Structure formats: structure tokens, C-alpha cells
Structure 1
Amino acid sequence: MKKIEIQHTDLQIAPINFGGNVFGWTLDEQKSFEMLDKFVGAGFNFIDTADTYSWWVNGTGGQSEEIIGKWLKSRGNRQNIVIATKVGSETKEHGYDISRKHILKSADESLRRLGVDHIDLYYTHFDDNITPVEETLSAYADLIKAGKVRYIAASNLSPARLTESFDVAEKNGLPKYVALQPHYNLVERTGFETDYAGLVEKYGLSVFPYWSLAAGFLTGKYRTEADFDKTARGGGIRKYFDAKGKAVLKALDVISEKHGTKQATVALAWLLAKPLITAPIVSATSERQLDTLCAAPALKLDTEDIELLNEVSK
């Protein structure tokens, strides 16, 4: 599969980013290994996780990184895999924290759990809106200098703090974020397109959208109010089942039938057709789901398809 380069780096990735939030949560270690093997076997190499996945299980997290670390060791393929993890998320033990002390401690803990000597892409997961930007970037500079981190990225930073980060980095010779992980999909367009797209272009950021399938809504499996009661995610995605959401699902039905593929594949192909999008983040808990997601890069939507999806998702 043709690889693309994360901007301002030498990291080569295939255009789907496997979301590791399911490892140690809805997938046990054995099933996680099976999903990772199939993902890599299909030609992909980019894995996303966080130090706090899955804190909602045990209150602290770390399970996802540990499983990925065990898989890397057992397969002996670290040199072929691009690993992204994150720091700063909230848990039962602490609030959002991107202080120097927390970053340095968390990076060492992530390295230990992953069983690697460096993290390819290290994200500010959430902004505490307290720590001075210079303190955060200086901590990352030390990690990069020590060889523990290669590049840094941002997720869930306000446009103002993201802009400030670049200004401070430029002024003080500190590392700059090379990528952004925003919330973006067919039913969640406004935030990214209004507040972040311009900054992505200005700073030349690669973009890895999370919740690319709107927590499963864009798979098309939720068609009645009763369907939302059958899943733990139902309460969080019922909000999409309005006139706009129904129109998006109808368009996905039409286009997926036209191309002989799945609705989720079409939703991801729409993202990949966007010039600013590099690699959507997706999770899968079965081989069938993974096949659907991995088919997206090969699906080339035509102008009519894209215009229809753009119109119904406004």
C-alpha cells in the first residue's frame, strides 16, 4: 500500500490510523493481537493510543499501551510500526495536566508499558489551560533531545492555545506540533471546518480525525430509536438521529449500494477525499468491521458522491 508522509517528519504511514481505545476494554489481549495482526497484514502501520486508555475500566488506564507493547515484542516488528500515544488526559487520579513534571513522568511510563525506546508521535491529549505553553513545549524538547519522543502533535487544544503554541515555539526555538487530532466526521463538521482548518493550512499540519464514524452512527446500524438502546454508546449518539443525520444515512445507503461497499467505508472515503485529511482514526472489534474500514483508501468517490455527502451533511 502506498504510504504518505506525516508533514514535517520522516514518518511514513498508510492512510488509516487504528484507534487503540478498544484494547483492554472491548477487546481482550488475544483479540487485540488478532486485530493488530490483520490490520498490519492488510498493509497498514499506524497505531494510536493514549496513556489513559482504558481508564474507564480500572480508573487509571495503561491497558492499551501494555497490550500494544506485548504485541510489538511478540511480533518483533517495532521498526515497521508508527506508534502515537498521548499525555494530559483526565483520570480518577488527576485532572487534565500538561505540566513539565507530569509530561516527563507520563512519557517514561508510556515507554515502559509500550516496551519501546521512543514514541514516534506524542500528543498533548487535553489542555489543562493552566500550564504555560513554554513549559509544555520545553518538556517535549527535553524528551526529543533524550531520544524518547520523535515528534509532537495536538488534540483538543483551543484554536487560541494552538496558535500560541506555534508563536512560542517560533520565538523560543522549541518543537512545533506536526499534526492535529480533531473531532471530525460527516455529522460533526462545523468545529473543524470553522475553527481549525485555517490553522491546519497555515501551519502545515497533518490531520488525524477521531470519532471518524461518529461512534458508530455512520456505520448505518442505527435506524430506529430502539436501536440506540441496544448499545452502551446509544445515549451519546442518539443526538445524531435528527433530520440531518437521517439524510446522511440515506446518502450513505445510496452511495454504498452504487459502489457495492459498506456505509462506513463510504464515510471514511469522504474524509480521505478531503485535501486536509491525512488518516482517519478508526477502531474495530471484529475482522468484518476491520475489513470495512481498511477498504476505505481504495474507494474513490466521484464528484457526484462527494457533492451529495457535502450537501446533506451541512
Structure 2
Amino acid sequence: MKYTQLGRTGLKVSRLVLGTMNFGPQTNEADSHAIMDAALDAGINYFDTANVYGWGENRGRTEEIIGNWFAKSPDHRDKTVLATKVYGNMAPTPDGVAAWPNHDKLSAVNIRRAVDASLKRLQTDYIDIYQFHHIDRATPFEEIWQAIDTLIQQGKILYVGSSNFPGYKIAQANEIAARRGGTIGLVSEQCLYNLAERRAEMEVIPAAQEYGLGVIPWSPLQGGLLGGVIKKEISGGRRASGRAADTLANPTSRAQIQAYEDLLDKHGIEPGEAALAWLLTRPGITGPIVGPRTAEQLDSALRAVELDLSEEILTSLDEIFPGPGPSPEAFAW
């Protein structure tokens, strides 16, 4: 496994991030533990989760699965850089009853409540990277950073990251943090970024680079679209669903994905591995989140770290999936 610094911090993290969103909803606890064992054995030390994972009435279940894995061995927690998130409403929601207020978003009261609940489920006394899952338009950053300062002083969290933030919010958050003094500010940003979805190149990634944030792309295969979906469909394998199916229903988009698969087939490269390897070549990228449902999917992701894409292939990928270009040129003269 290869490692890099997380943004401007001294923290060393693996170039693949183990995403755990499938743990619980699609992958049972025993298989989830086996995947985490294999990831750690392969050198992946960066594990990402969120308090809402498990979804619906099972919110928090994914953190519990990870906590049970930590409880198996002190070595697990010691070797893991643990990231979780806060924003979604975690209050019980019986049928017909609205969720209680103050159990979501980024108010000081919810941040304090959410951290303690995550620590309990995760069976740990600290979180390495505590991430804001979304922007909160109603809560000023002065309040957010005051709550974060307290948690850092208490030793409950070490660093803070964002997820799904636009560029201007990254700037606003870190400028206010700098004016207040004390907190280091945001050190990472998780954003939607892959070959087929490159809008983050316009402002999010440049803002992250300007402020020293590591960038952690989520959905690196665009919901399976970049994982050889047409080839699997033809061979009778798993068919596309959700956003991937909607995209393939468009003849122009289908032709684009076919050209992508044909290019990689010509070079004997698996599409999913190429999509991950491409992200590892991009400026400012710490490492993509991979969310394996099975051990085989983890093995495929690990091969991507060692895959070197030639300049010919990189040029061809840019021709098939042209990015928007930097701002303001992407939308102005």
C-alpha cells in the first residue's frame, strides 16, 4: 500500500479509503469484519463511516459493526485512522411522528450529542477525523468552531473535515477558523468526483488545494457506471440500476461508456481498476473511497493502487470524458 499526508496535516493515510456504507444494509457483520481484516492486512489504514449509515430505523448500525470489530483487538483501533460524519437526524422516528428538532445538522448542541453517540457505538474514546456531512445554512461557523474547539480540548476528536461542501464554503469555514485562532480548520473534503463527474475540478478541488485540504472522492465508479457495466450486462452479470441505468438509457451516454470499456479492453485493463487508478493521478487527490460489498471487490480496488496508466490511456480518457476545465474559464471568457 502507498501512503500520503492528509492535506496539510502530519497524518499519514493510505491512498485507498475503506468506505463502510454497505456494512449492515448489504454486508452482514461477519463479512464486514472479514473485509476490514483484509483491508488492514493490505495496509489500508483510513476507514470512513457516518453516524447515519445503516439508514432508516437502522441508523448507527454501521458504526456499531465497526465498534464490535475494534473490540476484537486493541490493534485494530491503534492502526486505523477513523473518520465519521455528523449532520443527519439520528432521533427515533416512530411511524407518524416527526423527528425531534436539534438532533441534526451542525448546531453546537447536536455536534456535542452526535460525537458522544458515535463514540459509544464505535467503542472508542476518540475520532481521528470528524466530518461535516453537508453544509448547514442556519448555523454560523463561529458556533460550529466553538463546539469543535471544545471537543478537541476534550480529546474526543483530532481533526475536522467536510463533505459535499462547495468551494466558497471551504473558504468561508477556514477563513473564520483562522480569524478565531485555535482550531486547525478543515483538513479534508469528501466530494463526488470521478471520470464521468468532473465538476469538482472547477472550484471544489482548487479551493481544497488552496487551503491545504486532502480530497477524498466518493462514488469513484459513479454508482457502478465505470465498473464495466455494459460488459457485465452482455455477459449476463449484474445489470445496471439507479443512476447508472438512467445514464445508459441515453444513447449518447451509452456510446461514451462503450468507448470507455472498449479502450480499456484493448489494453487489457479492468474498467473499475482504471477508474480508481485515474483518480490517483489527479492533482490534490488523497485517495478515493472504495465501498466493497465483498472481499473480491476489495481485491480489485487494491490492484488499482499498483496500476500505472500510460500517457496514451490518460489522454484517451480525457477525450472520452472531457472535464469542465478550471473556473472561471469553464463558465466565462
Matched, 1:106 2:114: yes
**Which structure would you say has the larger Rg?**
2
In the TM superposition, what is the alpha-carbon distance from 1:222 to its structure 2 partner?
4.1
Q: Percent identity?
A: 33
User: What TM-score comes out, normalization by structure 2 length?
Assistant: 0.86
Q: SS state of the match for residue 144, structure 1?
A: helix
In the TM superposition, what is the alpha-carbon distance from 1:238 to its structure 2 partner?
2.4
Matching residue of 2:155: 147
Matched-pair contact (CA < 8 Å) for 1:119–1:150: yes
In the TM superposition, what is the alpha-carbon distance from 1:8 to its structure 2 partner?
2.7
Task: Find 1:292's aligned residue among 285, 290, 300.
Answer: 300
Matched-pair contact (CA < 8 Å) for 2:64–2:122: yes
How well do the aligned residues superpose, as a CA RMSD in angstroms?
Answer: 2.3
Matching residue of 2:243: 236
Q: How many residues align?
A: 309
Q: Distance in 1 between matches of 2:210 and 2:74?
A: 39
Which is helix-richer, 1 or 2? 1
Q: SS state of the match for residue 282, structure 2?
A: coil
Q: SS state of the match for residue 121, structure 2?
A: helix
Matching residue of 2:67: 69
Q: Distance in 1 between matches of 2:4 and 2:278?
A: 18
TM-aligned CA distance change 1:288 to 1:63, over 3 Å: same
Matching residue of 2:197: 188
In the TM superposition, what is the alpha-carbon distance from 1:249 to its structure 2 partner?
4.3
After TM superposition, the structure 1 = structure 2 runs for residues 80-229 of structure 1, keeping only pairs within 5 Å, are 80-90=79-89, 93=99, 96-173=104-181, 174-190=183-199, 192-222=200-230
Matching residue of 2:40: 40
Matched-pair contact (CA < 8 Å) for 1:45–1:81: yes
Matched-pair contact (CA < 8 Å) for 1:69–1:114: yes
Matched-pair contact (CA < 8 Å) for 2:280–2:287: yes
Task: Find 1:307's aligned residue among 312, 315, 318.
Answer: 315
> Deviation digits for residues 244-265 of structure 1, max 9, x if unmatched?
454244324422552x442110
Bigger shift: residues 216-225 or 12-21: 216-225
Bigger shift: residues 196-205 or 29-38: 196-205
TM-aligned CA distance change 1:180 to 1:256, over 3 Å: farther
User: What TM-score comes out, normalization by structure 1 length?
Assistant: 0.91
> Deviation digits for residues 105-140 of structure 1, max 9, x if unmatched?
100111111111110111000122100111111111
Task: Find 1:270's aligned residue among 278, 286, 291.
Answer: 278
What 5-or-longer segments of structure 2 have no aligned partner?
94-98, 323-333
One-letter code of the match for 2:245?
R
Matching residue of 1:281: 289
Q: Distance in 1 between matches of 2:233 and 2:302?
A: 29
In the TM superposition, what is the alpha-carbon distance from 1:223 to its structure 2 partner?
5.5
Q: Distance in 2 between matches of 1:32 and 1:89?
A: 23
In the TM superposition, what is the alpha-carbon distance from 1:285 to its structure 2 partner?
1.2
Matching residue of 1:14: 14
In the TM superposition, what is the alpha-carbon distance from 1:237 to its structure 2 partner?
2.3
Q: Distance in 1 between matches of 2:168 and 2:24?
A: 35
Q: Distance in 2 between matches of 1:253 and 1:238?
A: 19
Q: Distance in 2 between matches of 1:34 and 1:134?
A: 42
Matched-pair contact (CA < 8 Å) for 2:167–2:208: no
Matched-pair contact (CA < 8 Å) for 1:137–1:175: no
One-letter code of the match for 2:147?
A
Q: Distance in 2 between matches of 1:8 and 1:112?
A: 29
TM-aligned CA distance change 1:188 to 1:160, over 3 Å: same
What 5-or-longer segments of structure 1 have no aligned partner?
none
Q: Distance in 2 between matches of 1:237 and 1:24?
A: 23
